[in-house]
Structure formats: C-alpha cells, structure tokens
Amino acid sequence: MKRMVILAACILLINTQLIMAGGGTQRSSSPEDFPNRPITLIITQAAGGGTDLGARLMIPFWERELGGTITPINQVGAGGWLAINELPSRPNDGYTVYAFSNGLATDRLNPSTNHPVTYNDVQLIGNYVLDISAWAKHVDDNRFRNLNELIEYARRNQVTVGCAAIGNYDWVVIQNVNRQLNTQFVAVPTPGGAAESMAALMGRHIDLLGVKVGEILTPVREGFFEPITVFWADRAPFFPDVPTFMETTGLPIFGHSARGHMMPKGGDPRVVQRLVDSYARAVNNPEFIAQLAERGLSVHYMDPDEYHQLMVDDERTVLEIYRLLGWL
C-alpha cells in the first residue's frame, strides 16, 4: 500500500509538471526558436471588409517569410475597439498580432467614446496598404447621377452616409464637406466596418457608402454600386473615370485608410525584429502586390517609425476638424 501511495504521488507530480510545461508536447518558447507554435492574428473588422481582405491575402506570404503558421480570427465590435482595448493585457511574446487601420490614431478622439489605447501603447509592426476614401451610391438610385447633383441634393435634403465609426477619416471627410459646402450629409456608424455599410446600402437603409476604394471595387465591378467620387489628389487607379472631389469642387478634401499590423508592447526585441523584417519582405513580394492590385488595394509599405509618424499626422488633422466643430 505504501508503494502504491508513493507511485500515485509520483504520477501526480509528473502530470503536474507536464501541465505546467504545456502538456510536454510543446517545446519551450524562446526568442531563438520563434515561432515554434501558431501565431494568432486578430482582425479587428468583420469578414468581407478591406481590413479583413488585405490581412488574409497577406497571411501566406508572411508565413513563408516568417517560417511559421498564422491563424486569423475576426474579433468585431465598436469599430474594432473591442479587440484593440484588450490588446495591452495580451501576452507580448509575439504569438498574438493584430490587423487594424489607422483609426487607432483618430477614432478615440471622439469625446463620446472611452478608448484608452493609443498608438504609443502598442508595438507597431508595419503598414502594408494605403486605401483611398470614396463615396458610392446604389446603382439603382437615380436621385443624383454625379457629385454635382449629389451636392445640390444634399443642400436640400439629409443624405445618410455609412462609415465605420464616428471620428475616423471617412467621418472627418463628411464633416469637412458639410462645413465647406453647407450640405446635410449625416454619418451613420457601422461598427461592423465596410461589410456592414455595404449590407445597409444593399438594403437601401442608407443613401451612400463612405468607405475605401479597395472595399467597394468588387461590388462596383459586379454592378451593385456606383462610385460618385474619391477623396485624393489624383484619380484612383482602379476608378480612372471617377473624378476626384477636388477635381469637381476645387476643395482639397482628402481621406485614406492606412492598414497595418501591431502587437502588445514590450516584447523581446529579437522577436519584434523578426516579425518586422519578415513583414517587410512579405509586403514587398511582387506576387502579393499583384494580388492586392486585383482587389483595388495599393501596397504602401511603412516601417514602424514611418507608420507612427503617419498616425501623429492623422491625429493632428482630425484634431483640427474637431476644434472647428467645437468638440475640443
């Protein structure tokens, strides 16, 4: 009986050690052998939107350069902030990364929100695409056929515009247009991102889409939506026949979405550098660039420092609008 008790105690001790070691089947994780298990990629927007599409297209190229497996998970809510607000509490070992847009710099400035995380609270990995803001209508909507007719209509009537969140660049564009042209465009937040906005326009619950070129290229080609204008200095390469807002009105109102990846701050510098270096090689792969182009997305790589500076500049632009609106 004494031997059986000792044997049982030994088995219990061994099992406890195995559990603490991750079951005994997983190698210990260290910066030298990173990654030795799958990396979780949390996509902060719903499936079907521009953030989701670009992030998923990039996965096989990043996996190839990184020498590991990346598993995507969509975590949707509050325009992406449900996931972002949890980021600081996640492990910073490199096995959890996030796909997001530059709303991290601007959405939180809305005084009606309570988003504590800033771009200074995360480790940026890089930016891979710059997507131009655009407006589009339902193809069967005959109230306005072009931007000039839309502006005249919006001076007499309210026009609802779906955008991912109050405070993001699409929202800023709407406020800028109203301020300078005395129009009545009304932003309708769609926390599910572009996918939710497009569903709302399909159901004729809103009048316009305030999204990005890459997000609407496919439904435009399929004949569901018709682009009205793009908010950039030059015409969008994927919509060469669509005049820019500045071209039509003479007003330099621009908008964009910079999409990239980040991770919790404070990780081992060797792990961070491995992620950053492999990311840069994946983004600049000609095959990846071609695949994005087919879907209306233009690659625009930025390293962590350049990406941080973009967010600083974006924040400054939005704060200027907020001051004009009396929000600050």
Look over the chain and give the mean of its residue pLDDT values, rounded to a whole number. 88
Structure tokens, 289: 């660039």
Q: Kindly tell me the burial class for residue 62, based on how many C-beta atoms sit within 10 Å of its own C-beta (0-12, 13-18, 19 or more).
A: buried
Confidence (pLDDT) at 58 = 97
pLDDT tens digits, residue range 170-213? Answer: 888 999 999 999 999 999 999 888 889 999 999 999 999 999 99
**pTM for the whole structure:** 0.75
Answer whether 166's CB lies under 8 Å from 252's CB.
no
pLDDT tens digits, residue range 12-24? Answer: 343 334 333 333 3
Look-up: residue for tokens 């799958």?
Answer: 38
Q: Round to whole Å and give the CA distance between 259 and 276.
A: 15
Domains, the chain, in order of start with CATH, read: 32-129+256-325 (3.40.190.150), 132-249 (3.40.190.10)
pLDDT tens digits, residue range 127-163? Answer: 999 889 999 999 999 999 999 999 999 999 999 999 9
Q: 129 φ, ψ to 5°? A: -150, 150
Q: Kindly tell me the burial class for residue 9, based on how many C-beta atoms sit within 10 Å of its own C-beta (0-12, 13-18, 19 or more).
A: exposed
Question: Measured between alpha carbons, how far is residue 254 from residues 51, 91, 170, 281, 314 in Å?
Answer: 19, 37, 9, 29, 11
Assign 27 a pLDDT band (cuts: 50, 70, 90): very low
| Structural element, H or E, at residue 226 | strand 225-230
Mean pLDDT of 269-283: 98
Check whether 44 has a pLDDT greater than 70.
Answer: yes
Q: Which of 2, 94, 91, 55 is nearest to 261 (CA)?
A: 55
